Amino acid sequence: MRVLLLSFEYLPVKVGGLAEAVTSIAEGLAKLGHEVVVFTPDHGRNLGSPVKNFRIASFGETLEVAVRKREEKGVAVYSLGGGLLSEEDVYGPNWEGLLKKAVIFGKASAALLNLLIRDLKPDVVHAHDWHTVFALGLIRKYFGIRSVFTVHRLNKAKIPAHYFHEANLGELAPYPDIDPEHTACYIADMVTTVSRSYMLEEWGFFGMFEGKVTHVFNGIDCTFWNEELLETSDLPREERRRLILEKFGLSDGKAFMFIGRFDRAQKGVDVLLRAIELLSNDPAFGDMRFLIVGKGDPELETWSRAIEKRFPENVRVITKLLPRETVRELYGSVDFVVVPSYFEPFGLVQLEAMCLGAIPIGSAVGGLKDTIIDFRSDPEGGTGFLVPPGDAFALANAMILAKNLDEKTLRKLRENGRKRARDEFKWENACRRYVDVYTGSVDRAMSFLL
Residues of this chain that bind ligand NHF (CB under 6 A): 16-18, 21, 152-153, 194, 218, 344-348, 367
Distance CA 418, CA 356 (A): 7
DSSP secondary structure string for all residues of 167-208? TT-GGG--SSEE-HHHHHHHH-SEEEES-HHHHHHTHHHHGG
Nearer to ligand NHF, 253 or 417 (CB): 417
Are 168 and 154 in contact by the 8 Å Cβ rule? The answer is no
Query: Where are the extended beta strands (E) located within 305-407?
Result: 315-318, 336-339, 359-363, 385-387
Q: Which residue is nearest to ligand NHF (CB)?
A: 17
Nearer to ligand NHF (CB atom), residue 226 or residue 266: 266
Closest to ligand NHF by CB, 141 or 422: 422
83: DSSP letter = G
Scored b (16 or more CB within 10 A) or e, 174-210 reads: eeeebbbbbbbbbbbbbbbbbbbbbbbbbeebbeebe
Q: Which is nearer to ligand NHF, 69 or 261 (CB)?
A: 261
Of residues 182 and 261, the one with the C-beta less far from ligand NHF: 261
Question: Which distant-in-sequence residues (6+ apart) come within 8 Å of 302 by Cβ?
Answer: none
Q: Which is nearer to ligand NHF, 107 or 153 (CB)?
A: 153
Q: Contact at 8 Å (CB) between 30 and 75?
A: yes
Least CB distance from residue 141 to ligand NHF, whole Å? Answer: 27
**Closer by beta carbon to ligand NHF, 267 or else 414:** 267
Shortest distance, CB of residue 341 to ligand NHF, whole angstroms? 8
Least separation, in Å, of the C-beta of 372 and ligand NHF?
13
Least distance in angstroms from the C-beta of 195 to ligand NHF: 8
Q: Which residues are 150's β-sheet partners?
A: 128, 192
Name the minimum Å distance from CB 368 to ligand NHF. 9
Minimum distance from CB of 19 to ligand NHF (Å)? 9
Compute the least distance from the CB of residue 419 to ligand NHF, in Å: 21
The 3-state DSSP class for residue 52 equals strand
Element (H, E) at 64: strand 61-72
Is the alpha carbon torsion for 104, 184, 365, 215 positive or negative? negative
User: Rounded to whole angstroms, how far apart are CA atoms 251 and 288?
Assistant: 10
